Amino acid sequence: MLRRMLILLVVSLGYLGVGMLVVLWMTSPKRKSPWATPASVGLDYKEVEVESTDGVTLSAWWVPAGDPTKAAVLVPGWGGYKFDEHLLQTLLVYYDAGYSVLLLDLRAQGESGGLRRTLGYREVRDVLGALAWVKLEGYALDRVVLHGWSMGGATALSAAPGTGIAAVVEEAGYGDLPLLLKRKLPEFVRFGEILEPAILLAGKLFPDFDPWDVVPKREATRLSDEGVPLFIIHSTDDEVVPYEQAQLLAAAYPGACMWTLEGYRHVEAHEHPEYAQRLLAFLGAAR
């Protein structure tokens, strides 16, 4: 009996240990220097530092526009950067509409500080820090739009309730991280289906990360109750975040504006010929 218990203990610890290794991989920093800037799309900018609400120093770019009253904060996804093509192309849409724009590197990504990425758990504090920075620049938050992609979309949604912001644009984001991991881990990690309970448990054991708590559909409902406009953009052919995640968000916020694309991969909506037109139409209606 004792032998069996010892074997069971060793197997259990090994199972949890593999889960820990996967969590460490998923949350490890992803540093990268910019290969493009707002100047690459013809815009002047300045490098700024933003402090998250828990003290992490974040790298950002500030692109001031003609209208001194409205601004947008652009939030990249997991493993994304402030210099990603879809952020820079979307920057142009906002800038041409008179918005000043803050492009943000989330913690442990790009040029920002921070020890680990947390799939939207602590990144909420980064977005709140960005809103505080924009407010200090003189912009009322009811004239500020949060726009995020993938994890950045989930994070923008999670951060938005209670801030009084003007609107949220969420592209290719998720409404339920545990469900997403359950569906996608077999693709990302060998034996991911078997390891999924260990990975979620291992994540919960870290003091700064709880994947079970990253369920932005809850905040989408709160946003609906507050009457803050939400624009959901998602492709049925998204290979990273399944379209069902957009449906979860739409169910949580029945009045949300939703644009369903076909034939576009993850965070490729900006390539659609109607992208700027649809985004501007939403922003105009959200005023």
Tens of pLDDT along 211-257?
889 999 999 999 999 999 999 999 999 999 999 999 999 999 999 99
**Residue 129 carries which side chain, given as an amino acid letter?**
G
Rounded to an integer, the average pLDDT of 94-119 is 95
Rounded to an integer, the average pLDDT of 112-136 is 96
What's the token pair of residue 183? 């569906």
pLDDT bucket at 11, cuts 50 / 70 / 90: very low
CATH 3.40.50.1820 holds for 36-176+214-286: yes
Q: What is the C-alpha separation between 26 and 206, in angstroms, rounded?
A: 13
Task: For residue 170, give the H/E element and its range.
Answer: strand 167-171
Q: Which residue has the higher pLDDT, 142 or 28?
A: 142
Would you state the pLDDT for residue 7?
52
Would you state the pLDDT for residue 195?
56
Would you state the pLDDT for residue 13?
43
pLDDT bucket at 12, cuts 50 / 70 / 90: very low
Rounded to an integer, the average pLDDT of 54-62 is 97
Sequence spans of domains, the chain? 36-176+214-286
In degrees and rounded to multiples of 5, residue 81 shows phi and psi of: -140, 165
Question: What interhelical angle do 151-159 and 216-226 show, nearest 10?
Answer: 50
Residue-averaged pLDDT of the chain = 88
Would you state the pLDDT for residue 21?
58
Would you state the pLDDT for residue 208?
75
Residue with tokens 């009253």: 69
CA count, 13 A, side-chain hemisphere, 68:
3
Q: Is the pLDDT confidence value at 200 over 80?
A: no
Would you state the pLDDT for residue 204?
62
Under 8 Å CB-to-CB from 225, ≥6 apart: which residues?
Answer: none
Q: How far is CA 123 from the centre of its chain?
A: 8
Beta-strand ranges (E) seen in 30-140 are 30-31, 46-51, 57-63, 71-75, 100-104, 109-110
From residue 155, how far is each of 75, 168, 190 by CA, in Å? 8, 11, 27
Q: How far is CA 146 from the centre of its chain?
A: 10
Would you state the pLDDT for residue 183?
75
Q: Is the pLDDT confidence value at 15 over 60?
A: no
Measured at the alpha carbon of residue 258, what is the angle toward residues 118 and 98, in degrees to the nearest 5? 80
Q: What is the C-alpha separation between 36 and 147, in angstroms, rounded?
A: 20
Q: What is the C-alpha separation between 106 and 112, in angstroms, rounded?
A: 6
Rounded to an integer, the average pLDDT of 8-30 is 59
Rounded to an integer, the average pLDDT of 122-143 is 97
